Amino acid sequence: MVRAAVLPAVGAPLEITDIDLPDPGPGRVRVRLAAAGVCHSDLSLSDGTMRVPVPAVLGHEGAGTVVAVGEGVGHVAPGDGVVLNWAPSCGRCHACALGEVWLCANALASAADVHARTADGVELHPGLNVGAFAEETVVSAACVLPAPDGVPLADAALLGCAVLTGYGAVHHSAKVREGETVAVHGVGGVGLAALQAARIAGASTIVAVDVSPAKEELARAAGATDYVVASDTTAREIRGLTGKQGVDVAVECVGRAATIRAAWDSTRRGGRTTVVGIGGKDQQVTFNALEIFHWGRTLAGCVYGNSDPARDLPVLAGHIRAGRLDLSTLITDHITLDAIPAAFDAMRAGKGGRSLVVF
């Protein structure tokens, strides 16, 4: 038995309870978690914004040590440090054939599998494949990648979602170039990673936008040159910081209609707006036909930072070892498994950056 955070039903409070994990079968790996990040996507799964088979063990951003491997697993062995990849690509679908592995049609094929059982025999599913809110987990071998050398295993947990997403949104989706101006809307874990990525890319002006004035220090530590408290005048303030033009690139990390619209409005004529945040179906964003023609902007969605973890983890590790990427600036709280419900409440209130569950 291991302790885990279980979502018994959509909209229900998380329950911290004991679960029974199976031994790893063929093509499976058992991992003892070192740490797991508390991501806004977990909250979206909990409240039904994103659908997940329930009851489920949530948590998808984690790193740990291999305990055991099943038959046919050769790329990792017991004792190895690994980063969990919640969206492994199948290599066979249309998206994978195009090289767009972040859009793999089969990435979440295992999310409906039986992952574990409660002490009284209730079947549990793995939230987003990996069930990282637990002392240990059993996952497909495709969900584990060797942890990069020189990166503390607990910090490496953030590479599994927040950093890949924020860095990828800037470098792969928006393709920020040296000297360009950037606005990042939403200063949570992904937003903080995007700010660092914009700095690494050589952006000249980096504007952080958030509803909370208390996040300014976090944002500036991550690379923001300016800070704007979100309001009805956000776009006007950003244009005022960029010679009345607007930024070359706006990255939206919230997933609300009003924030997406503000990001679009803060982008210069001909600029690029990238939406990373996951919003609900009720969040309707409207544009008129004339403004689309007049502004000539590009509006793009972005899944998992348009990243290929196998390709990008070594690149991120290089930035970390060189001191260009500081994972510690993303973490605002180190917590225990029992504190995850409180971390969810903090996210609902728009507080902090990334809470990290340390086992």
Among candidates 60, 45, 57, which has minimal Cα distance to 21?
Answer: 57
Whether 132 and 36 have beta carbons less than 8 Å apart is answered as yes
**pLDDT for 245:** 97
Compute how many other C-beta atoms are within 10 angstroms of the C-beta atom of residue 327. Answer: 23
The domain segmentation of the chain, as residue ranges, is: 2-160+326-358, 166-303
**pLDDT for 43:** 86
Among candidates 311, 293, 303, 7, which has minimal Cα distance to 169?
Answer: 303
Among candidates 239, 193, 185, which has minimal Cα distance to 212?
Answer: 185
**pLDDT for 348:** 84
**pLDDT for 51:** 83
Residues of the chain under the 70 pLDDT cut: none
Architecture category of domain 166-303 in CATH: 3-Layer(aba) Sandwich (3.40)
**pLDDT for 98:** 97
Show the CA angle centred on residue 50, arms to residues 254 and 340, nearest 5°: 75
Rounded to whole angstroms, how far apart are CA atoms 323 and 265? 34
Q: In the β-sheet with 298-301, what is the strand arrangement from edge to edge?
A: 226-229, 205-210, 181-185, 247-252, 267-275, 298-301
Whether 340 and 132 have beta carbons less than 8 Å apart is answered as no
Q: Write the secondary structure of the chain as one string of H (helix), E (strand) and C (coil).
A: CEEEEEECCCCCCCEEEEEECCCCCCCEEEEEEEEEEECHHHHHHHHCCCCCCCCEECCCEEEEEEEEECCCCCCCCCCCEEEECCCCCCCCCHHHHCCCHHHCCCCCCCCCCCCEEECCCCEEEEHHHCCCCECEEEEEHHHEEECCCCCCHHHHHHHHCHHHHHHHHHHHHCCCCCCCEEEEECCCHHHHHHHHHHHHHCCCEEEEEECCHHHHHHHHHHCCCEEEECCCCHHHHHHHHCCCCCEEEEEECCCCHHHHHHHHHCEEEEEEEEECCCCCCCCCCCCCHHHHHHHCCEEEECCHHHCCHHHHHHHHHHHHHCCCCCHHHHEEEEECHHHHHHHHHHHHCCCCCEEEEEC
- Indicate the pTM of the whole model: 0.94
C-alpha distances in Å from residue 342, one per residue of 3, 333, 345: 17, 11, 5
Q: Which fold has domain 2-160+326-358?
A: Quinone Oxidoreductase; Chain A, domain 1 (3.90.180)
Pairing state between β 56-57 and 136-140: unpaired
Nearest-10 crossing angle of helices 234-241, 257-265: 30
Residues in the chain: 359
